Structure 1
Amino acid sequence: MNVFFQYNWQVRDEWFDWCQQLSDAELVKQRTGGMGNILHTLLHIIDVEHSWIQAIQGKDDKELNFNDFTSLHQVKSLSDSKRNEVEAFLKHDNLPDDHPVTPSWIANTFRKDEVLKHIIAHEIHHVGQLSIWARELDLKPISANLIGRGLYQ
């Protein structure tokens, strides 16, 4: 499962690099789908990943105010800091796959392995949205290929 987290982080970093060619106005331009714009979609990906990892650990979720993040640099910095926390958890995680996870925002309980797979699938879903928006801008999207990324070396 760690390979898929590494994959998502690698692709996310490539999207951050890709976004540098866009103006601030283009990053927050309202679009159909996703979280409504490129910047908020990236922020949403980060927030969801971190929130679910907090839930697995039984920690409270602190909801992000998307209005506090107005630049690509701010969102990238948040991504880096939250990734460090998630990576540290994954590296030292010894909870069983069937460990119950009850997030504060849903009145249901899930298995840890189900939550981890959801986090991975969630990011891949939104990266697909970014790819559509890239094509709408007549720009080449980031490759979604897992093969050839050096993740299995």
Structure 2
Amino acid sequence: MKKLFLYNWQIRTEWFERCQLVPHEELLVNRVGGAGSILYTLYHIVDVEYSWIRGIAGKPDVQVPYEQVQTLPLVRELSDSWHHEVRSFIDNWSSELEHELVDISWNDRPYSQGDILRHLIAHEIHHVGQLSIWMRELGIEPVSASLVDRNL
């Protein structure tokens, strides 16, 4: 699982770089079939990852309203500022915790740590696919999704 988190983080960095080619107004356009706009989707990926990791760790959720980070540099800064905590958690996670149940403040039932981590991996990959489609619609080559061509 750790390798897939490394993959997602590498891809995310490349998406932040690729989105610099997109005019700010286009980043804010509400698009069909996703979380909303390109910028909101990047924000959503970062927010969901951080919230679930803090939930597993038994820490309170941190709410940074999207309205406070509505530029690409601010969303990237948010991602970078939370990454150390997320990375530390993933680096220290062990498969021995796979079936350990945790209560998440915004849900009414417990989940296993392994299921939450797999959800986070799939969640980001899902939204990256949407970003790829939207970039093609804008005439911009999307970030490569290849895992085998990366030195992870």
TM-score range, shorter chain: over 0.9
Q: In the alignment, what sits opposite 1:53?
A: 53
1:22 CA displacement: 1.0
**1:53 aligned counterpart, secondary structure:** helix
1:104 CA displacement: 1.0
1:93 CA displacement: 3.0
Q: Which runs of 5+ in 1 are unaligned?
A: none
1:143 CA displacement: 0.8
Q: In the alignment, what sits opposite 1:35?
A: 35
Q: Which runs of 5+ in 2 are unaligned?
A: none
1:64 CA displacement: 2.5
Distance 1:108 1:125 in 2: 24
Amino acid at match of 1:33: G
1:15 CA displacement: 0.5
Amino acid at match of 1:136: E
Q: In the alignment, what sits opposite 1:97?
A: 98
1:63 CA displacement: 2.4
1:101 CA displacement: 1.7
Distance 1:147 1:10 in 2: 13
1:135 CA displacement: 1.1
Distance 1:142 1:96 in 2: 33
1:97 CA displacement: 1.1
What is the alpha-carbon root mean square deviation over aligned residues? 1.1
Distance 1:143 1:39 in 2: 19
Q: In the alignment, what sits opposite 1:25?
A: 25
1:92 CA displacement: 2.3
After superposition, the C-alpha distances for 1:5-45 in whole angstroms (9 at most, x for unaligned) are 00000000110000001111011111112221011100000
Aligned length: 151
Distance 1:34 1:101 in 2: 28
Amino acid at match of 1:135: R
1:59 CA displacement: 1.1
Give TM-score scaled by structure 1 length. 0.94
Amino acid at match of 1:28: L
**2:148 aligned counterpart, secondary structure:** coil
After superposition, the C-alpha distances for 1:69-88 in whole angstroms (9 at most, x for unaligned) are 12111111111111111001
Identity %: 47
Q: In the alignment, what sits opposite 1:106?
A: 107
**2:97 aligned counterpart, secondary structure:** coil
Distance 1:54 1:43 in 2: 17
Distance 2:92 2:132 in 1: 33
